[in-house]
Chains A and B, each alone.
Chain A
Amino acid sequence: MAENTILKGGAFILEPGNVEICFTPEDWSDEHRMIYKTTMDFVNNECMPHVEKIEAKNEEFARQLFATAGELGLLGTDVPEEYGGLGLDKMSTCVVTEAMGTAPSFAVSHGAHTGIGTLPIVYYGTKEQKEKYLPDLAMGTKIAAYCLTESGAGSDAVGGCRTKAVLSEDGKHYILNGEKIFITNGGWADTFIVFAKIDGTDFTAFIVERDFPGVSSGAEEKKLGIKGSSTTPVIFEDAQVPVENMLYERGKGHHIALNVLNIGRYKLGAATLGGIKGALGIATRYAKDRQQFGRSIAEFGMIREKLARIATQAYMAESVIYRTVGMIDASLEHVDRADPDYPAKASEAIREYAIECAMCKVFGSEVLDYTVDECVQIHGGYGYTAEYPAERYFRDARINRIFEGTNEVNRLLIPGETIKRAMSGKLPFMQAATNLLGEIMEYSPLMVELPDEPLALQEHMVGMCKKAVIFVAGVAAQKFMMGLAQEQEVLARMADMTIETFALESGLLRAKKAIAKLGEEKAALYIQFVEAYLDETIPKIETWAKQALAYIEEGDDLRTQLVGLRKLLKYQPINAIAVKQAIADMVVEKNGYPLG
């Protein structure tokens, strides 16, 4: 792909969507499809029949699962071939992660191991470190964990870090002291990526082995969900870490921490997708089986609308996540693996999409929570009992809004990064805002003539949503200037508007691609998804925008701005209930997500 066909991170809001460069699940290669099937087979045959053993946090069984997964290559997609992995594209990793996302608890153990536990070495390790650690991690004979969080260092992971590293007198070891908490795989892991401050100041990462003197793990947390995963404190008491186990450079731990989180976030999005489709599947089958009032409850409109909404949101989440991974893969194609500066450059290529990664995480985890909530509801009282898997899905989903950066922290990142890039001139945001504020008074929705083709109205509205985001952001920036960073309620609304616009556009571009390939008739479901989602989302975007404006301005200024906003988001509702009825038919017919 040529340089100019790559969409810059955060730039989607400023540019018209381009179908050509929008990656979709329909663009999966044969290999991606086979990888998906192998992973699903692994989950269905190796995990699902053993839910009880997994839930009991059986370490031996967990190790066995890791070993089997390792043999199948399910741990090595991101590990280069020369270190025992497969060195595949990010898409392949996401395909594995999505399928694995349906595995009870093991999804999280697997995600922590392959993601935050292994990637710091892949990207920042020296040749010796890679040779020493990666083959075992790719084969699953050793388990990895990532130790960032401390009691005083949660969302403020870098600033709050108290774990200290001091060089030993003989200069051979760093002596680590401190306690990390909530560490996934903490009780099982053989290698830990640990963040500590050298001399209490320089935030730095280390590769620590369980067998090093002074390393231990504490008691298992009693958790709401993902009970089959290990979560413990990891304690360092004069732990001796050989100097050659420092990862990357002194004082550059935050590069690792933040970059690995970027990857962790789109991967988490993919994992939630697995959960969403899994929960929709069990909800649909239950609804079809359950009879009340002499009919299957899947015939009731309110139940059908729930199924349709979940499927619609699943489609949007899928579109967002695979589009983002497509962008990252395209961007990584320009980084030469042989370049000695590869880690820094590859991380930079991924960091470019920090905004999109955060959107994958927030959107995926919130769609999942909506899904598991309605899944319990569709099960009625049975959904509240442990007899049915709906209850476990409900509990297991909740963590996703908390780890890999809480959804609040991720929401802040979205406008935060955008503003940063606007200020540095990387994104011509200010220009767009100035132009828009100038033209909006003359703009009239009456002048708009839509072509007579499917989704023309939706495409137009997506363009208008982008303008609404720029409009609110422009007004807010003008008013608060540097103080905007403190106005979290406004930032949250900007984030939500941005996320929903990104979702809408991703779903729209995917549908347009489907229409071009299959024709309007066969792409009907894609069209319906976009129509249904847009119809429910425009009022939300308008409300967030109005609330923000009402907070920022008052009097005549406010009135003028509200008039401008109303013009932008002028939308006459379609018959969305009928559209959702058609979607529900497909969900019921296919026993779940109808594009799966």
Chain B
Amino acid sequence: MNIVVCIKQVPDTETQIKIASDGKSIETDDIKWVMNPYDEFGVEEALVLQKEKGAEVTVVGAGPQRVTEALRTALAMGADKAVLIEDDDFYGADPITVAKVLAKAIEPLNPDIIFFGQRAVDDDSGVVGSAVAEFLDMPQLSVVTKVEVGDGTVQAHRPVEGATLVLESTLPCVITAQKGLNEPRYASLPGIMKAKKKPLEVISLADLGVERDDKLEIVALNPPPERAPGKQVEGETGQEIAINLVKLLREEAKVI
């Protein structure tokens, strides 16, 4: 059984994002990059199947050289090998382009299951998994919190408004992981040292024979509005404060 996990490297959620001078991208210079948290669920699920079914797990990422760090982390968690599609200008590409490129790289790996995170926490587009399923003509089980692989089939659960949708599909298929699927393991120190010796293949867009043909363009990024400072309601007595509060709510906030 072959399992592929696609990994996007995203800014750490604690990083303070600065919008670059072009107004439509972010400053990437001193960002701390991590594996997209939803992708970690995919890696963990693949590693469970690696153990249960003897599956071989390949992780695939695209982007500049720094993306190797996310791939190495997956190798340290236990994945068997990694492929980096190296391209300096890939971050922020049209998700459909990303999917085309990934599909091209994944196809020869002959996967039974391709895992994705249900979305990436940086641009929240949530398109790539579906588009890869489309390009490879595979069924897709999206936003799942439970996976059970049978003989040539897979069952998965998707929570829907408190209820559970149980899906079943044949293999090969694409699965996108939702929070709750599992508890991703740590990259242990022995795992980190072993990862050093695991194969990490680096290929280019040219090697894949794909050219960038982005249809979607980010035209502007706007930071969230600054939080207005709080206001302390003045007054000597509780009654006075209440009166002033009502006044403010009516006259300034205009909510009553």
Residues on A facing B (Cβ under 8 Å): 30-31, 33-35, 37-38, 41-42, 71-74, 76-77, 86, 88, 92, 96, 291, 294, 522, 589-591
Contacts and interface: CB of A to CB of B under 8 A. Distances in A.
B192 A38 contact: yes
Interface string B14-34: 101000000000000100000
Contact of A38 (B14, B16, B189): B189
Contacts of B191: 73
A291 B187 contact: no
9 contacts: A33-B69, A34-B192, A72-B189, A73-B188, A73-B189, A77-B189, A86-B190, A92-B189, A590-B16
Nearest to A76: B189
Nearest 8 interchain pairs by C-beta = A73-B189, A72-B188, A34-B192, A73-B190, A73-B188, A38-B186, A38-B187, A31-B192
A294 B229 CA distance: 8
Nearest to B184: A41
A291 B229 CA distance: 9
B249 interface: no
Given A34-B73, A34-B76, A291-B230, A72 B193 contact: no
Interface of B: 14, 16, 29, 68-69, 72-73, 76, 186-193, 195-196, 229-230
A86 B189 contact: yes
Contacts of B73: 34, 37
B229 A72 contact: no
Contacts of B230: 291
- Chain B at the A interface: SS class: helix
Given A291-B230, A294-B229, A34 B16 contact: no
A235 B237 CA distance: 64
Contacts of A31: 192-193, 196
A493 to B, nearest CB: 40
Contacts of A291: 229-230
Contacts of B186: 38, 41-42, 72
A350 B10 CA distance: 41
Contacts of A71: 188
Contacts of B76: 34
A454 B195 CA distance: 40
Nearest to A74: B189
Quick one: which of A33, A34, A86, A589 has the most chain B CB within 10 A?
A: A34
B71 to A, nearest CB: 11
Contacts of B187: 34, 37-38
Given A34-B73, A291-B229, A294-B229, A589 B16 contact: yes
Contacts of B189: 35, 38, 72-74, 76-77, 86, 88, 92, 96
Contacts of A76: 189
A72 B76 CA distance: 11
Q: Which of B29, B72, B192, B193 has the most chain A CB atoms inside 10 A of its CB? A: B192
A35 B229 contact: no
Nearest to A71: B188
Contacts of B188: 38, 71-73
Contact of A35 (B14, B16, B69, B192): B192
A74 B73 CA distance: 17
B190 to A, nearest CB: 5
B193 A30 contact: no
Contacts of B29: 522
Nearest to B16: A589
Contacts of A589: 16
Contacts of A86: 189-190, 193
A420 to B, nearest CB: 38
A291 B14 CA distance: 22
